[in-house]
Structure 1
């Protein structure tokens, strides 16, 4: 880069920073507003958010208040301050229910909660809150341009909750608490009948029932092996080409062998 252009860029950068610093310290609300909006349009959301933060209270109840509040919330969302952006969008929805931006605000409120959803292995209260927010948006704005995005996010979050529930049942089986595993699987299948983990859960139930039978007192073995055989039949009925079929067939062969001992 030619030295002259380099110096020009440095001068522009310093001028911009100086203008921003002056606006931050200024008592002129109009100066702050105009620069905040310009910075927002330039994609400089961190700086715009700081200026909007200062002037939001001053515009409350005024005609410009609606726009300032919305742009402040969007700036926060863009810099990934999702807890605060969710709160600000929620305030916008309450304060400006007739706004032309109401759908966008409601969507980004819900999306802010979606962005705060943790990985599946952590407590999922935030995920449940996000699902509720998104579902409320879907119910209130069934024709929204954001509808497809909202549905995709609900599906993703629901799968996350289902995975956590399934992994809990799986963990019980791993630590040989087979009764708890079976109960957890049954609750899981009842709570999430359309889950993408249905096949996995059915095999897990078969495996847990078989393991429970092998560890049972002699007086309980026959009944529990029969229950495991029923679990096998259910699995292959719904998933004849199951990815677990080979392993399930081996378990069933062992069940059949064990049950034969009781008929002698």
Structure 2
């Protein structure tokens, strides 16, 4: 019995392969569509894609085009070809606005772009695109079945953009461009008022203001020392028990000592 089942499986496999090869060589797009659909249903997505690529240009406008482009998009998504999947899902939404699959296609198209988002240290153009597309899904389908996941994806992507913005601002402190650091960190705090990086941003603003002040020419030192003292106050006001308290107090002591020379 086992030998019979194994033989049967081999026959089915060979028959399937033969049918697929014939479909690849066929000039009949209907034959290709039937075979591609079978490949998709058998989860042989790469084979399905190869056939869909052959017939997609000729299938536009045909009665079964909606189904074809939907499973073509799904095949690309399931093989993690996210750039192409995103493009095909968006094209599907634009072409079939009354489709019962439109919400799912809108979500998967947007989600495809979220997979293209790189680590925070790299250029975040694709992250911004993903946020815009997911937000568009959220706005269009406020009661959508994928709303929870869409909101979570947006939250994660925005956190990445926030970290990128913080690191971009902090880098000026790292390279000793203290004036630029103060401006960049101020802008970061304004743009992300609830950020978990606020304490760090306030400290590096203080550090930048302090180092700028103590290394200034005499004519600019007093004003810069006072600015640094204000940066210290902002940090302590935000979090009195900041993890940077010891370093900040040392800076304040030096600031107040140097300010004394201007009160004589």
TM-score by length of 1: 0.89
Q: Number of residues paired by the alignment?
A: 263
**Structure 1 residue 217, shift from structure 2 partner:** 1.0
Aligned equivalent of 2:263: 263
* Alpha-carbon distance in 2 for matches of 1:36, 1:239: 62
**Structure 1 residue 192, shift from structure 2 partner:** 2.2
TM-score by length of 2: 0.89
Aligned equivalent of 2:52: 52
Aligned equivalent of 1:102: 102
After superposition, the Cα gap between the structure-2 partners of 1:248 and 1:92, relative to the gap in structure 1 and judged at 3 Å, is: same
* Alpha-carbon distance in 1 for matches of 2:245, 2:15: 70
- Aligned: 1:75 with 2:55: no
* Alpha-carbon distance in 2 for matches of 1:249, 1:40: 66
SS at match of 2:159: helix
Q: Could you say what the CA RMSD is over the residues aligned between the two structures, in angstroms? A: 2.3
* Alpha-carbon distance in 2 for matches of 1:119, 1:62: 42
CA contact (8 A) 1:159 1:196 kept: no
Aligned equivalent of 1:84: 84
* Alpha-carbon distance in 2 for matches of 1:16, 1:258: 85
Aligned equivalent of 2:128: 128
Aligned equivalent of 2:116: 116
Aligned equivalent of 2:180: 180
Aligned equivalent of 2:232: 232
**Structure 1 residue 35, shift from structure 2 partner:** 2.7
Aligned equivalent of 1:29: 29
5+ residue gaps in structure 2? none
Aligned equivalent of 1:189: 189
- Aligned: 1:169 with 2:180: no
5+ residue gaps in structure 1? none
Superimposed CA distance per residue, residues 4-40 of structure 1 (whole angstroms, 9 cap, x where no aligned partner): 9877766654443333222221233333223322322
Superimposed CA distance per residue, residues 46-81 of structure 1 (whole angstroms, 9 cap, x where no aligned partner): 111222222333432233211111111111112122
After superposition, the Cα gap between the structure-2 partners of 1:41 and 1:178, relative to the gap in structure 1 and judged at 3 Å, is: same
Aligned equivalent of 1:150: 150
